[in-house]
Amino acid sequence: MKTIALTLALAAMATVGTAARAGDTGKLRPVFSCVLEDGSRATLKAESHGLEGDALFVQVGSKTERAFLDMPKSDFVGRIALSRCVGKTLVFALEYGTPYLKGVAIRQNPQTHAEERLYFAEKALPRWLYVGRKEMLVIIPNIGYETDKKYLVYRYVAGKGAPEDAMPADWLPVPKRDLIRMN
């Protein structure tokens, strides 16, 4: 009986300690940084929301803004599922409600030097990235069975932006040798 009471007391203290540390809202901590095409950095930062997880922000140069500019009225909080630098592109994803992931690929276009953001939201993490002069692709295996196709392809075209939804495909849209695999 004493063992159970002690276990419950320790669990309660651990929970209280976690909640107290979560009171540090407003403080951004760096999570991952990536060197972009021109040598500048894109840094993923997180703000703790306690047991709910983190809210994500991105700093490019001296400007820091919310990570998900495609949905400015939504406050995504969750667990960071991916943060990588791939092909001079910062790619990250947040698990904000099982099994959903919301992510972004941020790069500086090598030709136009403009910042480009490609947003994606699927049940799986991206498997490949393509970074060309005129477009950027994020390719995700279709494990959620949203369509009968094998892949979900998100495309950003320089000067035009990106459609909101992925394009389903049974084959990879560019030769596999031109894709960067994200492990």
Tell me, yes or no, whether 5 lies in a domain: no
Q: Of 67, 72, 129, whose CA–CA distance to 94 is shortest? A: 67
Tell me, yes or no, whether 81 lies in a domain: yes
Average pLDDT over residues 160-166: 91
Q: How far apart are CA 106 and CA 118, in angstroms?
A: 7
Model pLDDT for residues 111-139, shown as the tens digit of each residue: 889 999 999 999 999 999 999 999 999 99
What pLDDT sits at residue 5? Answer: 41
Tell me, yes or no, whether 135 lies in a domain: yes
Tell me, yes or no, whether 9 lies in a domain: no
Model pLDDT for residues 46-59, shown as the tens digit of each residue: 999 999 999 999 99
Is the CA virtual torsion 146, 129, 162, 39 positive or negative?
A: positive
Q: Evaluate if pTM is beyond 0.75.
A: yes
- Residue-range definition of the domain harbouring residue 92: 25-181
Tell me, yes or no, whether 78 lies in a domain: yes
Tell me, yes or no, whether 70 lies in a domain: yes
Tell me, yes or no, whether 94 lies in a domain: yes
Domains in the chain, number: 1
Q: What is the mean pLDDT of the chain?
A: 86
Tell me, yes or no, whether 7 lies in a domain: no
What pLDDT sits at residue 145? Answer: 78
